[in-house]
Structure 1
Amino acid sequence: MNPISLDSPFNTVNTPLKPQAVAVTPGEAQKQFKTMLSDALSEVNSLQNVSSKKTEDLALGKPVELHDVMITGQKASISLQATVEVRNKVVEAYQEIMRMQV
């Protein structure tokens, strides 16, 4: 096992934050966020569909490895749980902002 050296890319102790080179308008930021969120939800949906298909194939007796079915099922489950947690945090942050007095 190799130790992490001081010049390692994982060393962030004394690394200054780099400012963004290009300013992003609020409209562009909203579009980027929308695209990122849409892509993430599409990925979760894709994992759910793959899991359903493999489970169906196993139930129909098609040649599918049981461990593949279990792994894809767990991936889909974990991605869905993570998505729900992110949604909960976003709703919580929104509610906290709405409670702020200006």
Structure 2
Amino acid sequence: MAINSVSFMAPTQIVNETNKVHTSVTSAEAQQTFANTLKDAIAGVNSQQIQSDTMTEKLINGGDVDLHEVMIASQKASITLNATMEVRNKAVEAYQEIMRMSV
């Protein structure tokens, strides 16, 4: 398992890169982009869960898989699911807060 190095960008680089792209996006395009991003994120979480389940089944059935690999896959799946649940909770809280606002 390879470990990739983490590189940090200076804050000015991030600001300059975001200022370069100024295109007008319609509401429908923004909704579609958000929907696709959300669908991809959920598919990624599902993929992690399936991989964890597959590795667990291989371990139980005596397949050629190491225990530490199964545990790592399980923890990755757990962390991605917990992060997704927290994002969902924050989105629901934000929606409820908006609904409580008086017009």
Q: Show the counterpart of 1:5.
A: none
Higher helix proportion (structure 1 or 2) = 2
1:20 deviates by 4.2
TM-score, scaled relative to structure 2: 0.83
Structure 2: give runs of 5+ residues left out of the alignment.
Answer: 1-7
Matched, 1:52 2:49: no
**C-alpha root-mean-square deviation of aligned residues, in Å?**
1.9
Q: Show the counterpart of 1:86.
A: 87
Structure with larger Rg: 1
Q: Show the counterpart of 1:30.
A: 31
TM-score, scaled relative to structure 1: 0.84
Task: State the number of aligned residues.
Answer: 94
Measure the CA separation in 2 of the matches of 1:66 and 1:18: 47
Q: Identify if the C-alpha distance between structure 1 residues 20 and 11 changes in structure 2 by more than 3 Å, giving closer, same or farther.
A: closer
Moved over 4 A (4+): none
1:36 deviates by 0.1
